[in-house]
Structure 1
Amino acid sequence: MNKFSLKEYLQEELGPFVSTFKATSYDDTNQEHLCNDEVTLEVYNFDAYVKARYPHPTPASPDAIHVGSKDFYFVEFKNQLPGAVDKVGIHSKFQAGTSILKNLLQEFSAKDCQYHFCVVFKNQPKPRYMDFRHIENNVVKFGLSELNRQLGGFYDHVVTESLDFYVKEFKALKCA
Structure 2
Amino acid sequence: MKTVSLTPWCNLFLTESKYSISLTRSRNKALLYAGSATFILLMSVVLFTYAYHLALAGAFVTVLLLSGFKQVNVSKKPCISMFELTSQGLCCFDQQQIYQVQASSRFSFLGCWLVLQLISNNQLHTNSEKNKAKKVLFIFRDSLSAQDFARITRVITQMTCPH
Normalised by the length of structure 2, the TM-score is 0.23
Structure holding more helix per residue: 2
Larger Rg: 2
Structure holding more strand per residue: 2
Normalised by the length of structure 1, the TM-score is 0.22
